[in-house]
Amino acid sequence: MDAERVIAAAQSVETPVAAVDVAAMESNLAAMQDRAAGLRLRLRPHAKTHKSAFVARRQLEHGATGLTAATLTEAELFADAGADDLLIAFPPVGEIRLRRLAALAERVGRLAVSLDSVKAAAALPERVEVLWEVDSGHHRIGTAPGDATVAGVTALVAAIGEERFRGLLTFPGHAYAVANRAELARVAAAEHRVMLETAAQLRAAGIAVRELSVGSTPTSSWTEAGPTEMRPGSYVYGDAQQVVLGAMSLEECALGVVATVVSTPAPDRAVIDAGSKALAADARLSLLRGYGIVVGHQDLVLERMSEEHGMLVATGAQTRLRIGDRLLVIPAHCCTTVNLHPAVLMVEAGTAWWDPVAARGWQAAGAGTPPAGQASGMVTPPAAQASGGASLARPSAIHLRDLRPSGGG
């Protein structure tokens, strides 16, 4: 990430503001696509990270076979953006979700969900396929590998038919709890092993397993041939979690939050205007001290946050910060940080433009919209002056603004 360029691009914008270095993002997209291609795996990125129609299109244009979503709102937006092969990695339980799922199934060529319940699967629209979730150690959704999964899938096939059973899926979320890279490698190896062994058991029982869907950003370095697809998500932007886990370098991180120093109450302390309403507070890794990395100030720790305040502490004697200074913070968790912002400032050489985080929330498009003439209360990004040309297949609805930042490259 070019921190100077990003901070300069945001100079006319009130902080805190989430910003993306487009060149770094594009490099990340290309690198993961190349990794998947080298393993002969399909790449199905988990697009909950960005919730953006523009970034979804860029992932597809780089070669992704389809996209993963966590919510129907995300899946509907990605279908609008041109994704024709979608996986919703969350059980769609309830009549409202099922109605939206049925409508979505009519709009795309292929739609699947992941779940671990025959009852939930039996309620699905007929056009929706199923990946059965295996618990490879995260202990969230999923049946245990081996016999428990074989029993569950056997009952699933009896209920919905073998043609709608696509295969197995797992998420090694416990990779984020490791203490070192050796542990991370063991998590990745175990994920791979239990999926292949369980698939072999199913095939021995006469059940076809067409797909094995694995992966996360931190384990992607150890993904091997054998599964059919991988689903990393955070790689598109990167974050402090990926840096301390060794999955990405600080330079590869594309997302940061620009913040302003608003107080220097002590020589070794400073306060920025980015708290838990601007930066994710959900990720506390044993390997990461604080809630992010302050670019260019690795001697500072974002030790505490309240809603609007971020408290920086110097590991040395002084912060050397002044009121009004602007800093760039790489958040601990990019996915939940993006979800806090109505739009992200996309920064390129000499140009910056707003990309709406359009798939936030859970309601269908238009749900809760007040009648005409009433105020909506929606947050919109600062007004931007339109300028010419739309490269990188930008949506026409996005207003471009030529900022020509001083000091930018």
Residue 408 pLDDT greater than 80, yes or no = no
- pLDDT above 70 covers a percentage of the chain that reads 89
Can you tell me the mean pLDDT for 125-150?
A: 97
User: At 407, is the pLDDT very low, low, confident or very high (cuts 50, 70, 90)?
Assistant: very low
pLDDT of residue 380: 39
User: At 25, is the pLDDT very low, low, confident or very high (cuts 50, 70, 90)?
Assistant: very high
Helix axes 147-160, 181-204, angle to 10 degrees: 50
Q: Backbone phi, then psi, for 351, in 5-degree steps?
A: -140, 145
Q: Backbone phi, then psi, for 190, in 5-degree steps?
A: -65, -40
User: At 371, is the pLDDT very low, low, confident or very high (cuts 50, 70, 90)?
Assistant: low
In this structure, what token pair is assigned to residue 33? 């696509």
pLDDT of residue 383: 37
pLDDT of residue 370: 55
User: At 138, is the pLDDT very low, low, confident or very high (cuts 50, 70, 90)?
Assistant: very high
User: At 400, is the pLDDT very low, low, confident or very high (cuts 50, 70, 90)?
Assistant: very low
Q: Considering the entire predicted model, what is its pTM?
A: 0.89
Q: In sequence order, what are the beta bridge partners of 263?
A: 271
Residue 142 exposed, middle or buried by CB count within 10 Å (0-12, 13-18, 19+): buried
d(CA 255, CA 345): 10
Cβ neighbour number for residue 325 with a 10 Å cutoff: 17
Can you tell me the mean pLDDT for 289-312?
A: 96
pLDDT of residue 396: 35
Residue 155 pLDDT greater than 90, yes or no = yes
User: At 240, is the pLDDT very low, low, confident or very high (cuts 50, 70, 90)?
Assistant: very high
Residue 144 pLDDT greater than 50, yes or no = yes
Lowest mean pLDDT among 16-30, 211-225, 300-314: 211-225
pLDDT of residue 392: 39
Residue 331 pLDDT greater than 90, yes or no = yes
**What's the mean pLDDT when you consider all of the chain?**
90
Residue found under tokens 């506390």: 284
Rounded to the nearest angstrom, the gap between the alpha carbon of residue 392 and the centroid of all alpha carbons in its chain is: 20
What does the pLDDT look like over 88-115, one tens digit per residue?
A: 999 999 999 999 999 999 999 999 999 9
Nearest residue to 344 (alpha-carbon basis) of 256, 239, 250, 409: 256
SS3 readout for the chain: CCHHHHHHHCCCCCCCEEEEEHHHHHHHHHHHHHHHHHCCCEECCEHHHCCCHHHHHHHHHHCCCCEEECCHHHHHHHHHCCCCEEEECCCCCCHHHHHHHHHHHCCCCEEEEEECCHHHHHCCCCCCEEEEEECCCCCCCCECCCHHHHHHHHHHHHHHCHHHEEEEECCCHHHHHCCCHHHHHHHHHHHHHHHHHHHHHHHHCCCCCCEEEECCCCCHHHCCCCCCEECCCHHHCCCHHHHHHCCCCHHHCCEEEEEEEEEEEECCEEEECCCCCCCCCCCCCCCCCCCEEECCCCCEEEEEECCCCEEEEECCCCCCCCCCCEEEEEECCHHHHHCCCCEEEEEECCEEEEEECCCCCCCCCCCCCCCCCCCCCCCCCCCCCCCCCCCCCCCCCCCEECCCCCCCC
Given a contact cutoff of 8 angstroms between Cβ atoms, the answer to whether 187 and 174 are in contact is yes
d(CA 116, CA 120): 8
What domains can you pick out in the chain, each with its CATH number?
Answer: 1-21+236-359+385-409 (2.40.37.20), 22-235 (3.20.20.10)
Given a contact cutoff of 8 angstroms between Cβ atoms, the answer to whether 281 and 305 are in contact is yes
- pLDDT above 90 covers a percentage of the chain that reads 82
Lowest mean pLDDT among 8-12, 74-78, 372-376: 372-376
Lowest mean pLDDT among 99-103, 147-151, 283-287: 283-287
Cβ neighbour number for residue 16 with a 10 Å cutoff: 23
Q: In sequence order, what are the beta bridge partners of 168?
A: 132, 212
Residue 366 or 205, more confident: 205
Residue found under tokens 């790689």: 235
Can you tell me the mean pLDDT for 250-273?
A: 98
Residues 31-47 as b/e (b if ≥16 CB within 10 A, e otherwise) read: ebbebbeebebbbbbbb
Residue 401 pLDDT greater than 80, yes or no = no
In this structure, what token pair is assigned to residue 374? 């009433």
d(CA 371, CA 2): 44
pLDDT of residue 349: 86
pLDDT of residue 369: 56
What does the pLDDT look like over 33-62, one tens digit per residue?
A: 999 999 999 999 999 999 999 999 999 999
